Every structure is written in C-alpha cells, then in structure tokens.
Amino acid sequence: MQKIKKVFGWSSTTPGPADPNSSALVPATSNQIVQAGSSSIASTESEILSTSGPRGLKVISNPENPTLCIVFVHGLTGNRDTTWTHSDGAFWPSLLKEAHPTAKIMTFGYDADVVALWGMAGSNRLRDHGKALTYAVADQTSPKTPVIFIAHSLGGLVVEQALLLSWRSNETALNALFSATAGVIFMGTPHSGSTLAYWGRTIAKYLNVFRRTNRDILGVLEPRSEVLAAVEQDFQQMLLNPDIKINVFCFYEELAMTGIGKIVPEESAILEQYPNLPIHANHSDMTKFSGVNDPGYVSVCGRLKNWVNKLEEVKSEVAEPIKEIPKAGGSRIYSGAVNSSGGPIFMGDQNAAGDQNFNFGGNK
C-alpha cells in the first residue's frame, strides 16, 4: 500500500485523499503550515477567503493591494496542501511569502483521484476542472494584477484548459484573467501522455475498484490521447499568437520512482520552444522542497524572480511620468510616454495608434 501511495504522490508523512468531511485532508492546524509570525488578522482573512474542504482555492497570503498573484495547481491524486509539503513539514507556498511579500498566494484543489481509496472518485472531466479554476481565480484577483500559475502533473493540463476557456470566453472577467496571466511554470506535466495513466488502471484493477475510477481523467493522460492532443494543440497554437505574451517554463523529473521508472519522462514534460530544467527528484518529490536552500526551490524561485523583474520593468516604463519643460516665450512642452494600451491617440487634427512619445507645446 505504501508503494501505491508513493507512486501517486502521497508520502507516509502526509495524508492521502480522504472523505471531504475528514480533517485528514488538511494539515493539523493552519499555523503548522503557515510560517510563524503571521498576524492573526491576516490568517483570519485568508481563512475567510478560502473554501472549506480540499477543493477550490485556499488563500495562503493576502497582502493589501497585491502586485502579483501566484496560483498552485496540484496533479493526479494530489492535494492543495500535501502536494507542496515536504516530509519535514516545509510548505513552500508559504516560503514564497518572504521572497514575494506583495504577492497573493493561493493553492487550488480539485478531485483528481485515480483510485478512491478513501471515498468515491469524482466524475469531473478536464474541461470541468479548467472551468472551475478559471472562475475561482477570476473571482479572487484584480484584472490589473499579473497572475502566475505553478502546476504539477495533471494540474498543468487543467491550467492549459483554464487559459483556453478564458481566452475564448465572452465574459469580461474571464477575458481579464487571461490578459493578466503572465506565466505558467509546468512541473512534470505530461504534454504528450504519461505512463501514470497505465499505472492508475493497473492499481485500480488490482484493488477491484475500477468502476469507481475517473476514467475520463485517466484517458486524458494516456499516450496519444485524443483529448490531450487537442488541448495541447490548441494551447500551443494559442501561444503562437503574437499578441499573447505568456511566459512558459518546464521542469522535469530527473530521478525515477523505485521499481517503476520515470512517470513523466523529459520528452513528455517539456515544450521544445520553451526553456526547461531538471529537478533532482522523482515525480512525486519534485514539488516538495525542504526549505529556501533546497536546489529545487532555488531553481523555481529563480524563474519567478526573472518574470517578476520583467513585469516591474514594463510597469515602470508604462508609469513614466510626463515632464513639464518651461520654454522661452511663456509656452511649455510636455514630454513623456503616452500609454494608450494600443488604442488611438488624438491631438487636434492628428492621431496615432499604439504607444508613442509626443511633445505637446502650447501657450501658458
């Protein structure tokens, strides 16, 4: 049984999926996961904004006027807490609060159990999970706040589906979420199938609970899956649109699971046109970091830092103030960048499209 749990990302020190009414899904207390020193007021606000049970969004950090939103999405049979928790108790979404104090940080949970060892498996399909994620994040974020997703395994496909839905949606809030999405970090996401699906079916048959298994989710992960191929094709075609600026980085597992092999091999976990790096861990442990000095944590944080720095540079350029320059004869010149967000700029009988620099002269 311990080997089965290990395959799907449950360790002996963290609970596997349980009945939604059971407390086993959530660490003993919030304070054991959230770093010591957090104010009781901040903790209370986060608890109010979080959903009860294992599904939906859990708010880890909610600063006033956040400048960034980071959303964690777990993988197959994962959990919005335990997927990101090391055996020593370190919960790295909380560690990010020190590196990004102005970031709103949340973890998203959904029913992705392959085998319902503790309860009935859900019947949601990939599209349903993507839709749930889209609306949940849109409800918790501002259209002007950049959003970065960090997704493990199946969670990466859920994020892709969510972005496709928000891109095509007629709803203003969902379109705004798509426009605000700055990047996606994929961790062991099967972009071209995964042997994990085969293992899920094998274990399900062995436990004689196959009828309680979410077959749609398993089918998506099978190599050459038509659903997976369609999602991947649509997602990568979307990224080719020159008007879409979403950063992408892929991490892949460097170590094999004992007696099993690599769950998502490098060739499946990367997107060739985007940068990638290995994490020296197996598929289950690649999302569990012991602390801020853990090599895996340092690698992921390095990518986040680069993206945040670029966002700040763009923001400072857009916010460059218009300068008033006195001119001989009493007139004045106003010089600076005019950001029209791609719309037209009208100046008397002149107009221009896009963002331009102009000098406006006039009498005092």
Beta pairing, strands 350-353 & 344-347: antiparallel
What beta strand segments (E) does 173-235 contain? 181-187
The answer to whether the CB of 158 falls within 8 A of the CB of 73 is yes
Whole-number pLDDT of residue 119: 60
Nearest to 228 by CA among 268, 287, 198: 268
User: For residues 27-37, b (16+ Cβ closer than 10 Å) or e, as one string?
Assistant: beebeebbeee
pLDDT digits (tens, 9 = 90+) for 23-58: 333 333 333 333 434 444 444 555 557 777 789 999
The CA distances from residue 289 to 13, 84, 251, 286, in Å, are 14, 8, 14, 8
Nearest to 122 by CA among 55, 213, 192: 213
* Degrees, nearest 5: CA angle 97-100-106: 55
Whole-number pLDDT of residue 276: 98
The CA distances from residue 95 to 71, 84, 89, 311, in Å, are 14, 11, 12, 21
User: If 0-12 CB within 10 Å is exposed, 13-18 middle and 19+ buried, where does residue 311 land?
Assistant: middle
Whole-number pLDDT of residue 343: 47
Whole-number pLDDT of residue 310: 92
Nearest to 312 by CA among 44, 120, 103: 103
Residues (pLDDT < 70) of the chain are 1-48, 114-124, 195-196, 199-213, 224, 317-364
The answer to whether the CB of 106 falls within 8 A of the CB of 139 is no
Whole-number pLDDT of residue 212: 65
Backbone angles phi, psi at 136, to 5 degrees: -60, -45
**Which residue bears the tokens 């090599």?**
295
Whole-number pLDDT of residue 50: 74
